[in-house]
Amino acid sequence: MKGFGDENKLKKKKKEVIKGIDALGSEIMMKAYRYNQNGDIRNAAKYYQIFLDKGYSDPNVLINYGLICNKLELTKQALTLYKKAVRLYPNNPIANSNLGNILNELGKTDQAKEYLLKTIKLEPFIADHYFNLSNIFGQIGNLNDEEKYLRKAIELNPNFSLAYTYLGINLYLNGKKDSSLQSLEKAHSLDPDYGSNILMKVIESKNRREKKKNKNENKLLSSNPLLLTREVNQNLLDSLYNIKTINLNKFEDPTFGNAKGSDYNFFNDADDIHIENLKNDLVKMLYDSIGNEILVVDSFFTILEGSGRVEKHNHLNDIDRIKVLNLAKEKYSLVYYLSVGDQECKYPGILKLYNPYKDILPYKGMVIIFPADRYHSVVYNGNKDRVIVGINCYSI
């Protein structure tokens, strides 16, 4: 998650942390760390809570537990943990930084600024701290101070691709379009996977449509969600099983349990005629449903082998959430069900949509399209594999 302390850095301090904690506390802490490291954040949270309930205290436990709560959308609990960390360990820079970031997310910018400035005082040569502070000024529309702190972050870390991306956005909003393009190109050269070039295409497309003053720029979905059907090709399914997969518990992904699949570059990495045909069909479905050209930014497949879950989430990234850009309105998600698995079990893999609530039991061949800002989750405990392909895209 952007801005929040890196839990991998915290793990390096295990031996140091355990000093001063008795054998039972050390055992509980190590269990929590192991679960956390393996991606089982719910069991990690369980043991972090046991550690605290028994009266032990440690800054890294409070910070790691807070990170997990943030991932699970338990914002109030995360805030409480970070506040406790700062109260007990006032000179811990990660605790101050994470508290500042979550306060900023909650719109409490004055309080957030206080803790992020303190973080800079504690660690004045860390680029991330200046980047986090720049986010506050960007959020309140103070483009000059946002630019100042972004440039300071880049001065301290000339390879800070995310800072170049945000500087590009800042310059774009300030009307400095040539400089904006240079910054985004630099970001792309440092991290081609982040999508700074895609961001520029979307922003420019949005700007062109606004100039045309086309109020009905998108046909929009005829329903939210929109349900369609595409026949499942067994050769396609066979192709997916032949692709080398990753354990999604160890990937930045909301899927946990017996889950494997691809990263978010599935279509780009695959070299298979059945997958190419799938891509073309799904993009055409999106175009026909939304009414504009489609720019695919994420593509992936997931195989749930027995019990697994997809935590409540949506498909917006940090840049989509920048209100003044309003890119969230341009973004859509699609899920295609190649196999629905076992639907006679207790948790048959119902797709649960939020705001408003809607439960959908998928069928084989179902294609569902919905705005990317809509939260959704799944719980499945069948004995057969459940296979989906997903797309996130912008309307351009």
Identify the pLDDT of residue 293. Answer: 85
% of residues, the chain, pLDDT over 90: 62
Does the pLDDT value for residue 9 go beyond 50? no
Residue 298: strand pairing partners: 392
| Alpha helix (H) residue ranges in 56-195 | 59-71, 75-88, 93-105, 109-122, 127-139, 143-156, 161-173, 177-190
Q: What pTM, to 2 d.p., does this model score?
A: 0.72
Does the pLDDT value for residue 112 go beyond 60? yes
Q: If you average pLDDT over every residue of the chain, what do you get?
A: 88
Does the pLDDT value for residue 235 go beyond 90? yes
Residue 337, amino acid: Y
pLDDT bracket for residue 212 (50, 70, 90): low
Identify the pLDDT of residue 196. Answer: 74
**DSSP β-ladder status, 226-229 and 366-371:** antiparallel
**CA 199 distance to own-chain centroid:** 16
Could you read off the pLDDT of 141-167 as tens digits, one per residue? 899 999 999 999 999 999 999 999 999
Does the pLDDT value for residue 259 go beyond 50? yes
pLDDT bracket for residue 268 (50, 70, 90): confident
Does the pLDDT value for residue 205 go beyond 80? no
Does the pLDDT value for residue 214 go beyond 90? no
Does the pLDDT value for residue 312 go beyond 70? yes
Identify the pLDDT of residue 311. Answer: 86
Neighbours of 185 (CB within 10 A): 15
Does the pLDDT value for residue 216 go beyond 70? no
pLDDT bracket for residue 219 (50, 70, 90): low
In 3D space, the residue among 334, 323, 325 whose CA is nearest the CA of residue 374 turns out to be 334
Stronger pLDDT, 47 or 192, i.e. the higher one: 47
Lowest mean pLDDT among 63-67, 109-113, 217-221, 354-358: 217-221
* Domains of the chain, CATH where assigned: 7-206 (1.25.40.10), 226-395 (2.60.120.620)
For residues 377 and 311, what is the distance between their CA atoms, to the nearest angstrom?
A: 5
In 3D space, the residue among 132, 135, 131 whose CA is nearest the CA of residue 156 turns out to be 131
% of residues, the chain, pLDDT over 70: 89
